[in-house]
Structure 1
Amino acid sequence: MPEQSRGTPGAPGVPDAPGTPSALDHFNAAATEDAERTLLACLHSHRWAVRVAAHRPYPDLEALLAAADEATYDLPRTDRADALVAEALPDLPADAYSAAHTALNAANAAYESRFGHPFVICVDGLKPDEVLDRVLEGIRSRLANDPEEERLVAAEELRRLARGRLTALLAHDGPPTDR
């Protein structure tokens, strides 16, 4: 029998202790309504949550993430617009200057005025002191996009957000913390 890797039980790619159900096992076994509610915490689209929940059980996290990606790509424009409206800008570090908040709010207002929905960007993996610069840079550069190009970019950012939240949810057996 092959030796099992050691690590945090329930983490992606790390086996749980024998007999201990993983977070994915709990998700796979959950009632449909509970699974959908869990998914809605990752991306606010009822159609997406229903589709991903309907394909359970998933053999592993990668299969779940692939299904979530596909469901995100297939969202109709109205569902994607609803999911975008439910998003908020990432939180700024607690020590950010008020001028930073003002700049971010002004840039976001310009973005919303141009595209009709809030700016969405995935900042997974960034250090807290890098978030403001990345968000401001992203808004400023994406304001130059034409609406169709920005629709595609925003859809990709939604997919990345959902994927990160789903991974965090199942890796830590708890709700996402960035919402």
Structure 2
Amino acid sequence: MELAVFNSVDRDEAIKVLTPCLDITRWVETIVDARPFASVDELLGQANNAAEPFTPEEVESAMAHHPRIGERPKAQTTEAAMSRSEQAGVDVSDATAAALADGNRDYEEKFGRVFLIRAAGRSAQEILATLQERLTHTPEQEDMIVAEQLREIALLRLSGLVSEGANA
């Protein structure tokens, strides 16, 4: 969607467009209500600022929509399509897939939620190493990292969703 279109659609439509990037109502509404934006960079700056900080409740709510790393979401939603695209570049061998599955289980047992990482631009080995390292964290450390990962994912999705357009 071109930025000019995003700036001009009605509030409900803009909310509908942004929600798959990150399903946190406060974040979405803060961005939508700050329109119009002069540039995509300004939009991303607002999105970044609106993410500071996410409350534990917001993180928990947003996490309900994220698949396990290494598992492709099967739902036919915009958010699931974004997640499939983000994980598409991660080439996973059978051994790495098994290690990720084990690590995911360990992480869920320890922290009570799925392991979340911005997969785009990362190799399967890098994701696995990060998962193993994060298993050594305290819940408080992980809360901060998960909120940061949600922010990174949201900004990545938003930057792929809105463009300057032909007149920029």
TM-score (norm 2): 0.79
Aligned partner (choices 35, 44, 47) of residue 65 of structure 1: 44
Query: Which has the greater radius of gyration?
Result: 1
Q: Distance in 1 between matches of 2:56 and 2:14?
A: 24
Q: Percent identity between the aligned chains?
A: 28
What amino acid is the match of 1:159? R
Partner residue of 1:158?
A: 150
Q: Is the 8 A contact 2:47 2:155 kept in 1?
A: yes
Q: Distance in 2 between matches of 1:95 and 1:52?
A: 34
Quote the offset at 1:148 in angstroms.
Answer: 0.7
Q: Does 1:121 align with 2:100?
A: no
Q: 1:47 to 1:94 in 2, by over 3 A?
A: closer
Question: What are the residue-to-residue correspondences of 1:1-179 with 2, within 5 Å?
Answer: 23-88=2-67, 89=69, 91=87, 96-126=92-122, 130=123, 132-171=124-163
TM-score (norm 1): 0.74
- The structure 1 segments of at least 4 consecutive aligned residues displaced by more than 4 Å after TM superposition are 92-95
Give 3-state SS (helix, strand or coil) of 1:63's partner: helix
Q: Is the 8 A contact 2:15 2:32 kept in 1?
A: yes
RMSD: 2.2
What amino acid is the match of 1:54? D
Quote the offset at 1:143 in angstroms.
Answer: 0.7
What amino acid is the match of 1:78? E
Give 3-state SS (helix, strand or coil) of 1:73's partner: coil
What amino acid is the match of 2:57? T
Q: Distance in 2 between matches of 1:171 and 1:55?
A: 17
